[in-house]
Amino acid sequence: MGDIELLAPAGDMESVAAAVRFGADAVYVGGETLQLRARSAGFDREALRAAAELVHGAGKRIYVTMNCFAKSSEIPAAGEYARVLSGMGVDAVIAADLGVIDAMKRAAPELEIHLSTQAGCMNYASARVYHDMGVSRIVLARELTIQEIAEIRANTPPELELEAFIHGAMCMAVSGRCIISSHLTGRSGNRGECAQPCRWSYALMEEKRPGEYFPIFEEGGFTEILSSHDLNCIDMLDELADAGVTSFKIEGRMKSAYYVASVVNAYRMALDGRADLNYCRRELEGVKHRPYADGFYHGYVKGHHANDGVYRQGAVFVGNVLGRKDGMLKVRQRNNFRLGERLEVLSPGKIAGSFEVTDILTGEGEHRDAAPHPNEILYVPCPIEAESGDMLRRRQDG
C-alpha cells in the first residue's frame, strides 16, 4: 500500500514530532481560528510555522483544520488566514463551511482545500460539486459503507482524493454535527467547544414521577445509546484501499504524543508489512481507548453506540528516551516505574522488546528503588538498542 497516505493528528509539538518519527506521511493540526478542538490543541502562528518546518524537514505534509461552521463576521478573517497559511507553505486546509471554502479560494487560490468530514459528503454528486469549487480531497462522511465509498470513487474524477477515518473516537451524531453540548452547557460542538456530554452517565425519569430516577445500563439489548465505541480498522485496510481511499486518517488531536506514536506505529507496520496483524492489534490495545468497533464500514452494527464508558489501556507510558550511552538510557520519567518491573521500548518500525529494570540512577549517581517524580531525568540500564525519541512503557495486559 505504498501509495496510501497515513495521516496523523497532533495537538502540540511533541505530538507532531512523534507522528513524523513513527511513520506518518502527513500531520494535521489546528490553527488559531475555526478549528474544532479546544484552544489548547490550536497552534498560534509561530508554533504553526515551527511545526511546518519540522514536518517539511522530514519530507512529510502538514494540513491545518479550519472546519468550524463560520459566522458572517468570521468570513473575512478566513480569507486573510488562508494567505498566512499559504505563505507558511502549509500543504492544505481542511474546511467544511462553503463560505469559508469560497473565501479561502478567492484569497489564496493556490492553497489546497480538503473538505472536512463535518460537511457530511455522502454521495458522488456532492463530491463532484465540491471538486468543481476547487476542493482537491473529500474527507468522507463517517456514515458510509465500503460499498458506498467504492461507488463514490467510481463516479468522481480520478484526481479527486478520498480520505477516510481508520482509528479513534467517533461522535454519536451524523458526521460529528451534534447539538447536545450546546443545549446542555452552552458550549457548541460545532464551534470547537464540545463538552462531550455523550460520555456522561444518564438516568431515565418518567414525567409524572419527578425525582425518581431509573438507571440506564446495558442488559438484554437495552443500553446507553450516546457513548460511541472507538473506531479500529486494522483488519480493514485492504478493503478501504480497494474501495478507492487514498488517505487513512487517525483521529486524536487531543490525545497524547504516546497515543499518536503507538497508533501511527501500529498502522505503519501493518501498511508496510513489518508486523503481523495480531501484533498490530495488541499495539492498538496498548493505548487508552473505549471498546473498539468498525463503525459503519460494514453496514450498521447494532451496539456500536453501546458501551460501559470504561476506558481500556493495555500499557502505561512511563518515559521518553532522550539518549543512550554505555548501555544506559537517559530517560525523562512520565509515569511511575520501579526496580524489578519489565519495560518495553517503543521504536519506529520495530517489534517492541522488553527488559527488566535492574537499576535507576539520578544525574548525581544516586540509586533509586522507584521513579515517582514526573519529568525527572534518570538513567536506566537497557540491553535493547534505543534512540532519542523512542518511548518506554509498562504492559498491564501481560
Domains and CATH numbers, the chain: 5-175+227-293 (3.20.20.70), 315-395 (2.40.30.10)
What is the predicted pLDDT for the residue at 32? 85
Burial class (CB in 10 A: 0-12, 13-18, 19+), 95: buried
Give the mean pLDDT per block of 10 residues along the chain (398 residues): 91 97 97 69 90 98 92 92 96 96 96 95 97 97 95 98 95 66 69 70 76 64 64 97 98 95 98 96 96 88 63 95 96 97 97 97 96 96 96 92
What is the predicted pLDDT for the residue at 211? 81
What is the predicted pLDDT for the residue at 215? 65
Number of other residues whose CB lies within 10 A of the CB of residue 197: 18
pTM of the model: 0.89
Strand, coil or helix: 76: helix
**Cβ contacts of residue 387 below 8 Å, gap of 6+?**
321, 323, 324, 347
Contact yes or no for 230/243 (Cβ under 8 A) = no
Sequence-ordered alpha helix ranges (H) in 93-219: 98-107, 124-132, 146-154, 180-185
What is the Cα–Cα distance from 321 to 338, expressed in whole angstroms? 16
Strand, coil or helix: 30: strand
Contact yes or no for 39/33 (Cβ under 8 A) = no
What is the predicted pLDDT for the residue at 185? 77
Number of other residues whose CB lies within 10 A of the CB of residue 260: 30
What is the predicted pLDDT for the residue at 208? 82
Closest by alpha carbon to 232, among 171, 288, 294, 286?
294
